[in-house]
Amino acid sequence: MKKLLPVLLLVVILSGCCLVDTGGNGGNGTTNGFVLEDMDGETWQLSELEGSVVVIYFWSASCPPCISRLPDLAVLNNEMPSDSYLLLVNLNDSRERIEQLAGGYPDLSLLVNGLGLFQEYGLRFTPSTVIFDRQGNIVEKSAGFPANQEIIAKVKSID
C-alpha cells in the first residue's frame, strides 16, 4: 500500500488535477438543480437555464491547472453555441481572490461558493466538469476539463 500511494499522487499531479478534501461522503451525483450567486451578486439557477446546455467548470485558487486554463476558457466562452452556457464555479475562495485571478476575463460567468454543489455531485478533484442537457439532467461528470473543441462537440451533440 505504501508503494501505491506515491504512484497515485504522481497520477494526480500529471493529470493536472488537485484533490479536494470535501469532508463529505461524495454524494450520488444527482441533483434537483442549483442556485448560486455570481461575482455581481446575481443569482443563477439551473431551472432558469432549461432549454440550454450548461457546462460547469469547478475550480479553486489552490489549483494551478485551474488557473492556467482561464485564458482557454475565455476563448471557449466566445465559441460556445448561443443556446449554451459556460459557468465557472469557484469552490470557496474569497471574491477578492477570484477577482484577482479571473477579473481579466470579463465575459466569463464566475459563480462563487460552489463547494456544496461540488460535494453534491460527488466530485473530488479540481478542475472538474459537469455537463447538463437541455432538460437539466447531468449527461457527463469528469475530473479535469477537456479541450475546447471537445466541449463544443459535446455541447452540439446534445439534443
The answer to whether 77 and 86 are in contact (CB under 8 A) is: yes
Number of compact structural domains in the chain: 1
- Identify which has the larger pLDDT, 30 or 138: 138
Does a structural domain hold residue 48? yes
Does a structural domain hold residue 57? yes
Does a structural domain hold residue 23? yes
pTM for this entry: 0.82
Residue span of the structural domain in which 109 resides: 15-157
The confidence score (pLDDT) of residue 145 equals: 87
Residue 38: half-sphere exposure toward Cβ, Cα within 13 Å? 15
Report the C-alpha gap between 55 and 84 in whole angstroms.
8
pLDDT 10s digits, 21-77: 333 333 333 455 899 999 999 999 999 999 999 999 999 999 999 999 999 999 999
